[in-house]
Amino acid sequence: MTARVFSESVCALGEGPLWHPQDNALYWFDILGKRLFRSDGSDERSWAFDEHVSAAGWIDTGVLLIASETSLSVFDTQNGESTFLHPLEIDNETTRSNDGRADPWGGFWIGTMGKNAEPKAGAIYRYVDGALHKLFDKITISNTICFAPDGSYAFFADTPKRKIMRVALDADGFPDGAPELFVDLTAEGLNPDGAVVDATGRLWVAQWGAGRVACYTTDGAFDHAIHVPASQATCPTFGGADMTTLFVTTAADGLDPATPQDGLVYSASVGTTGQKEHQVRL
């Protein structure tokens, strides 16, 4: 199965797709372009920021929590106003935000990384109840942050290690014990980027450089893959009226030359129902 073009807006580094269940629209970012996009399939608009922005969770109709280079903020898409919520490595000029997603408790997990992928410069945090908690450190490229449908596990990866990890969560949504290996992509030379878990618990992970989103069973076995016409697939998410459409962001950055297919957003009807994105509770 091959995905089709959903948005022709070219992103240098498309990332962070989020289907907003109340807006019935897809939001996504161009990290390097410092821009947020929104499309309901017929109407598209965007907003410019003065620093890198990379990931979001939905708070209310038209209202997002946005992770940027230095902070977490509340962004109102109706008037374009941003309200500072909490600093994020604000004194570290080396890093920026990267992959992130709301968890089943209404918290928000957000990873950071070096702007030039400096080794072990990043970390993964959880924002909940007004506080930011560091969960994992010495991360080079934080990715693959997503959650099992029953809230029993979180998944994450440090992309250069080519290993997707799974960690058990306690009753409050914090890691309970050490992370364990879930999928090892080392032998195949595949790079795990953003990921999402469907309603049955299967993991769908974009694989940078491979032009695909791969699906893995609840046991970590490869099931099948969706071809993406752009080589640098960055992150998938489920959306649409029945939550059976898989949207995929891609990147054109680093390709010489880039093709007209690179940096676009794609979609595919995959016959699988995704989880509705969890609401961020402030």
pTM of the model: 0.97
Amino acid at 97: S
Per-residue pLDDT at 192: 98
> What letters, b where the CB count within 10 A reaches 16 and e where it falls short, cover 86-98?
bebbeeeeebbbb
- CA 121 → CA 94, 191, 259, distances in Å? 8, 18, 31
Per-residue pLDDT band for 1 (boundaries 50, 70, 90) equals confident
Residue of 30, 99, 103, 193 marked catalytic: 193
Considering the chain, what percentage of its residues have pLDDT values greater than 70?
Answer: 100
Per-residue pLDDT tens digits for 65-122: 999 999 999 999 999 999 999 999 999 999 999 999 999 999 999 999 999 999 999 9
pLDDT in tens, 112-133: 999 999 999 999 999 999 999 9
Picking from 61, 62, 87, 60, the residue whose alpha carbon sits closest to that of residue 73 is 87
Domains and CATH numbers, the chain: 4-269 (2.120.10.30)
What's the average model confidence in pLDDT over 161-182? Answer: 98
193 is catalytic: yes
